[in-house]
Structure 1
Amino acid sequence: MPERIAMLDQYRRVKARYRDAILFFRLGDFYEMFFDDAIVASSLLNLTLTKRQGQPMCGIPYHAFKPYIARLLKAGKKVAICEQLTGPNSKGIIKRDVVEVVTPGTTIEEDFIDHEANNYLASICSLQGSLCIACLDVSTGEFRAYSTPDKRPSGIEFLRSELYRLSPRELIIQQSLYEGQEVTSIIHELENTLIEKRPDWSFDREKACENLKARFKVASLKGFGFADEAPELAAAGILLEYLDENAKASSPHIQALLPYDMSDFLSLDEATRRNLELVKNLSDSGRRDTLLSVLDRTKTAGGSRLLRQWLLQPLRSKEAIDTRLDAVEYLYRDQLLLNDLRRRLGAVLDSERLVARLAMDKAHAKDLLALSDSMRSSLAIVSLLHTDRAPPLFRSGLDKAVEEDCARAASIVAGAIMDEPSVLLTEGNLMAAGYNADLDRLRSVKQNSTKILEEYLEEEKRNSGIPTLRIRYNRIIGYYLEVSKGKLDAVPTHFIRRQSLVAPGFGLPAGFTEYPVANRVDQPGFFGN
């Protein structure tokens, strides 16, 4: 079978499993798209659409794919990334498979999400006489589920209000619920939300309950505030199923399912939130000229997201309001403390999302350093606020054991990672000098390879009495000593003859390991040119 035909056959087999996604098919240094995917992607990404043997295709460089994925996600598309799993020299066609499906609601890449707003994946269903809602922000680990009686029109208005508040990037909806005219009108009002319809049978409360208990390693969900019969568990369960289907990675940072007590907050319907322009303006649904834009002087991304939630969910309890105001007054009356606090907060990066990337194996060394620095700053903030005269809101925080664990972790990372590490793990230049003695020795060999080889050669010349000895390199056997035919009788007994060489040659002997290397390295380029 011709190579191109075999490749397209492979493409079709992979695409058949991901019909609802645009398939980025790795071909060498490019991600290629074919057929309908190429037509759609070329239009959305302003790429040149070409044809080969009548087949539409377009492509992007593999090293610059992130901006293109961001634009596709913004357009409400999914992207399946199909990588090469074997090398170009492998026998037969290169093996390829999808390693990740990037969707608007499951991505945790900082290039793809708004750092000032939660990135919710939500689900809704009607079950046991209740309208059920669950929301999951994979990038922070927030996971909630709740329900309200399925009474019309109050239930529908509640659903409209909640979907406006959450503004999910992606919504999984029960098929029969979607087919209802009232709900369909709500769905059409959502902006930049990818809709995923699922059959009614997939919203299985019993199955979801068992899966949730297994995931969180508990015998009952009562400790989280849910009875096993709670209908909203069906909505929560399908979110985790969807995440596992697409992310193809574990998500240990999602550690609990929390209820949402609506009685804690003032009830604001969708029209009120919209017309007050709390977080979106009426002109273009942007942030400009909103109450949030006026009030948001936060120093961290997490603080900006929290302020957004506070504006959309005003407190109802006087006690809770007073607790919050006591904290505000405390800082207002101590401007030196406030300024010091803001300065330290400015050094705290987006810890929630850093932890998520680490937990899902999506982080690089700079993320580790950022988390280490953020932990140090956070511990300093805890020390500032944990005083006897501080209000209750500031005195509730980390216990001593957790503080010590955080300080120890931050110290380990700071000592292990370079100040300016490489972004890619495969490039090296990650670990700091002094962290690992073996690594330090190997680096020294690489940096001083020419000197080491020259010193070794001079030593062998003296010991053997062969002044014409040379060190050569061969791709098959590595580095070796070359001896002229006239000096073969003077070769020391510890030299090992290499028969495959044209000129008489001898492998570097075992004594060479006395030089600062863990063992003999004969990889091309290790000792420089």
Structure 2
Amino acid sequence: MKTYTPMIQQYLKIKAEVPDAFLFFRLGDFYEMFFDDALKASRELEITLTARDGGVEEKIPMCGVPHHSAAGYIEQLIAKGFKVAICEQTEDPKQTKGVVKREIVQMITPGTVMEARSLEEKENHYIAALTGFEDGSFSIAHLDLSTGESKVTLVETLEECIHELVTIQAREIVLSSEENPEIEKMLRERNIHSFSIMDECSEEPAFKEVLLDLKQEKLTNAMCRLLHYTKLTQKRSLDHLQAAAPYQIDSFLRMDPNSKRNLELTETIRGNGKKGSLVWLLDETMTAMGGRLLRRWIDRPLINRTEINFRLSAVEGFIEAYFERQTLRDALKEVYDLERLAGRVAFGNVNARDLVQLKKSLQQVPLIQQTLTQTEHPEIGKLADKMDPCKDLAEMLEKAIIDQPPLGLKEGNYIKDGYNAELDQYRDAGRNGKTWIAELEQKERQKTGIRSLKIGYNRVFGYYIEVTKANLGALQEGMYERRQTLTNAERFITPELKEKEELILQAEEKSTELEYRLFQELREMVKNEIPRLQTLAQEVSRLDVLQCFATVSENQRYVKPEFNNDRTILIEEGRHPVIEKVMDAQEYVPNNCKMSKECEMLLITGPNMSGKSTYMRQVALTAILGQIGCFVPAEKANLPIFDRIFTRIGAADDLVSGQSTFMVEMLEARHALAHATQNSLILFDEIGRGTSTYDGMALAQAIIEHVHNKVGAKTLFSTHYHELVDLSKELEKLVNVHVAATEQDGHVVFLHKIKKGPADKSYGIHVAKLANLPSPLIERANELLKGFEAPSAKQELREQDTVGQLSLFGEVKEKKVKKQNQSRIQREVLNLDVLEMTPLEALNELYRLQKLAKTETN
């Protein structure tokens, strides 16, 4: 350290405080980075790497970004999962000898972003902290710094802990340094990559309001850890943080992350985009706050019937009140993001335009309340009663700020005349002074006879009288005092102009300073009203989502569902909501789903592409829509209230954790079997693929029997194993249904209609034909199929399968076969390298061996 210059020593000392972050070190108009930070930043941001002397022999790597455009560079680093520490000068360089004092004023991390450009308007941005306990339980706290929302829960197992953190889509996880490292590994496998350490979890007086509703020490522990980390990184007021709301995950319909992904609730499986998801279909919200609440409701459907019926009743009321709903939508469109505004006020980075938006938002609330009361619907009327229009705040802002203020705050001209008497005096002096100068210009032109004479102003010389050199002869000796000489003109001053200049400039300077001071006072007054604004935001958000449900339900012809206690599913003419919208003009084929106490499981057969998966998904989505309080896509729906939904749909490798498609399938099946209850809904699609035919069939049958006999959950099970349809004779609560298809002129036609009974054919080769596989290949497959379906071939396959499937990964133990007893076919089979053959080569080889067997038999 002694060999470096004082400035570099200061840098290294501050950098030691934040070893895991890029240090943006303010030097003049730039944020500079040195040493390893400079090397990494030049690579990540693609900016020029330079070097500078630092007091040692070798030059120090350096790169920097302009402070006025730093936000864009910070955004890039945060998006890549890095952290950035902002280091500013905290002393006036003019009043300091030596190195100016500098301090870190804020840490920006993936979970603590506040810049609007880095935030998705209709998505929450959570940071979470967790604490593990000796009994195996975990407390999880999470908050959205941009809105002030904070929540905390307690889970019993590590698996539930991981599921919850993935569900809330935490951008950053705060852990103790002694926490189990396996947690970080498991979360990284699930695409959460930003982690931070905070060991301090003690209670502080500053946390009192946030901890108000927390009665359990375990919950307080995680919340305090998170608050300590937030306080350390932000280094400013966090007054907008709301009281942490404790919740239990069992109080909502539970779905693990894989089930949510399979059902495409908030993003599609392919492309991970919003379009094609359930939230894309439903999002007719008019405010950013409503959009975020909609996502939270979709993530956590209700299981409390009273709450569900309240929402459904309100949606019904909004559907009936069409004109009032349109008025509401127009009014909501003018409502600003009150939640994030409160956060920005607390952080001290709002401008005059933000406060005008706040004023306009508050001015919409009386109209919203009036419209709600006009519906004469009791549930909707309750929504109006809970809204506080903050009339006093709206009136104050109306008096204080002009309707179209400038973006900057330091130049003034945004406070209204009449708001402050002192400001009005300064403005009057300034305005009168400028009027006086304009009059003086006319007077001097008349007195000198110089029509081009003008009075101007610049920051260096102040006000001046300018006369071109061609007109200097018209001036009388000693008339003006010379101030500045230009190439083509001379500039002068008079004692009278100098006196007025001082008055005008003082008035403008004092006016600007006073305006900024008045704005700061306004901001503090708004800050004191943050709790009222947040409460209003919650009510407006709820109203927005309910009108959104009504709009979608009316446009898409949805019906109000009913709920029963006898575990009956009755869906008449049900439709898949998203596919129906995507199809647009095309007519969607609806289907019924009827399951009673006598029918706990539907075994669904039918060809590929016929709609088995779609049918299963639409049943689950109908249940989810009903339990979030929305109408459902059907002619009639009577449903039980499900406590959990499990889905195993589609094939996907989990390459990161080294798991094959079949292993993923088995793990998801295990999760469902371990946690499902009699009140759950299970969707199993093609369980048993990825292994040999009889292995897969045996597993599928065993799973069906286990669910039927021991779990008792409502289950939709689709399969290509047609042999399983015979289970309906043994399992009294299993019913066979199939997706109808027919053949016309050798081509398969999918009817997409669910009918009773098992399917009669697979149509796999027909589907291959639809995919335009080569005609010779299709003909060969048909020829092979006839051979496979022959009774003798089926018997031979059964006999071969009793030998068992060879493991692809374990050590293969060859059975010793006496050579003298080996037939030619046996020798041929033993010499085959099955693992190196393509499926088509294997089929051809099987056909050759079959011909050989027939020859030997004859």
Q: TM > 0.5 between the two? A: yes
Q: What's the TM-score once normalised by structure 1's chain length? A: 0.79
Shift of 1:88: 4.2
Give the Cα–Cα distance (whole angstroms) in 2 for the partners of residues 31 and 359 of structure 1.
25
Q: How does 1:71-470 map to 2 (within 5 A)?
A: 71-90=76-95, 91-127=97-133, 129=135, 130-149=137-156, 155-179=157-181, 181=182, 183-191=183-191, 193-199=193-199, 202-203=200-201, 207-208=202-203, 211=204, 215-216=207-208, 224=213, 226-227=214-215, 229-386=216-373, 389-392=376-379, 394-396=381-383, 402-403=388-389, 406-452=390-436
Gaps of 5+ in 2: 54-58, 444-454, 465-477, 480-492, 514-858
* Structure-2 change in CA distance of 1:159 and 1:519 (3 Å): closer
Mean alpha-carbon deviation: is it higher for 186-195 or for 56-65? 186-195
Are 2:68 and 1:63 equivalent residues in the alignment? yes
CA deviation string 1:67-113 (max 9, x = no partner): 11111111111111112233443432233222111122223221222
Aligned residue in 2 for 1:14: 14
* Structure 1 residue identity aligned to 2:424: D
**Could you tell me how far apart the structure 2 residues matched to 1:507 and 1:326 are?**
74
Q: Percent identity?
A: 35
| Cα gap change, 1:375 to 1:241, in 2 (>3 Å) | same
SS in structure 2 at match of 1:389 = coil
Contact preservation (8 Å) 1:438, 1:518: no
> Per the alignment, in what secondary structure is the counterpart of residue 98 of structure 1?
strand
Mapped partners of 2:329, 2:105: distance in 1: 41
Partner Cα distance (2:324, 2:442) in 1: 67
Change (3 A) 1:164 1:393: farther
Q: For residue 622 of structure 2, what is the aligned residue in structure 1?
A: none
Structure 1 446/148 Cα, relative in aligned 2: closer, same or farther at 3 Å?
same
Which deviates the most, 250-259 or 343-352? 250-259
CA contact (8 A) 2:373 2:380 kept: no
Q: Partners in 2 of 1:127 and 1:300 — Cα distance?
A: 40
C-alpha separation in 1, matches of 2:225 and 2:158: 21
TM-score when normalising by structure 2 = 0.50
User: Letter of the aligned partner of 1:329 in structure 2?
Assistant: E
Alpha-carbon deviation of 1:450?
4.6
Give the drift of 1:291: 1.4
- Alpha carbons of structure 1 residues 393 and 21: separation in structure 2 relative to 1, 3 Å: farther
Q: Distance in 2 between matches of 1:244 and 1:100?
A: 10
1:366-410 deviation per Cα after TM superposition (whole angstroms, max 9, x unaligned): 11111111111233212221458224255145558x43xx12211
Deviations 1:180-231 (A, max 9, x none): x3x23431134354211344xx34xxx33xx2x653359xx6x62x32x431
d(CA) in 2 for partners of 1:522 and 1:134?
48
SS across alignment from 2:23: strand
Aligned Cα root-mean-square deviation (Å): 3.7
* Shift of residue 161, structure 1, vs aligned partner: 1.8
Q: CA deviation at 1:325?
A: 0.9
1:39 Cα deviation after fit: 1.6
Alpha-carbon distance in structure 2 between the residues aligned to 1:308 and 1:325: 18
Q: Structure 1 93/176 Cα, relative in aligned 2: closer, same or farther at 3 Å?
A: closer
In the alignment, which residue of structure 2 is the partner of 1:500? none
Evaluate the alpha carbon distance shift between residue 189 and residue 382 of structure 1 in structure 2; reply closer, same or farther with a 3 A threshold.
farther
1:327–1:394 CA contact under 8 A, matched in 2: no
Residue 39 to residue 288, structure 1, CA distance change in 2 (3 Å): farther
Q: Alpha-carbon deviation of 1:159?
A: 1.4
Residue type matched to 1:163 in 2? Answer: L
Query: Residue type matched to 2:65 in 1?
Result: I
Mean alpha-carbon deviation: is it higher for 112-121 or for 432-441?
A: 432-441
Task: Quote the Cα distance in structure 2 between the aligned partners of 1:350 and 1:281.
Answer: 27
**TM-aligned CA distance change 1:190 to 1:367, over 3 Å:** farther
Question: Could you report, residue by residue, the CA deviation over 1:485-507 in whole angstroms, capped at 9, with x for unpaired residues?
Answer: x99xxxxxxxxxxxxxxx99899
**Pairing of 1:472-483 with structure 2 (within 5 A):** none
Hey, what does 1:494 align to over in structure 2? Answer: none
User: Matched residue of 1:322: which SS?
Assistant: helix
Judge conservation of contact 1:369–1:413 (CA < 8 Å) in 2. Answer: yes
Task: State the one-letter code of the partner of 2:433.
Answer: S
After superposition, what is the alpha-carbon deviation per residue over 1:106-162, rounded to whole angstroms, capped at 9, x for unaligned? 23221222111111110111125221100111111111111022xxxxx12211221
| Larger of the two Rg values belongs to structure | 2
Change (3 A) 1:197 1:217: closer
The alignment partner of 2:342 has SS state of helix
Change (3 A) 1:407 1:474: closer
- Whole-Å Cα distance in 1 between the matches of residues 43 and 457 of structure 2? 52
SS at match of 2:410: helix
How many correspondences in the alignment? 469
Residue pair 2:268, 2:276 contacting (<8 A) in 1 also:
yes
**Aligned partners of 1:19, 1:137: CA distance in 2, in Å?**
25
1:288–1:175 CA distance, 2 compared to 1 (3 A) = farther
Q: Which whole-Å CA distance do the structure 2 matches of 1:476 and 1:64 have between them?
A: 28
| Contact 1:145–1:259 (CA under 8 A) maintained in structure 2 | yes
Q: Is the 8 A contact 1:442 1:518 kept in 2?
A: no
Distance of 1:312 and 1:267 partners within structure 2: 9
Unaligned runs of 5+ in 1: 150-154, 460-470, 481-485, 488-502
| Structure 1 residues 474 and 108: CA distance shift in structure 2, 3 A | closer
Q: Cα distance, 1:522 vs. partner?
A: 9.2
In 1, are the aligned partners of 2:372 and 2:381 still within 8 Å (CA)?
Answer: yes
CA distance in 2, matches of 1:285, 1:292: 13
Q: Structure 1 residue 312: deviation in Å? A: 0.8
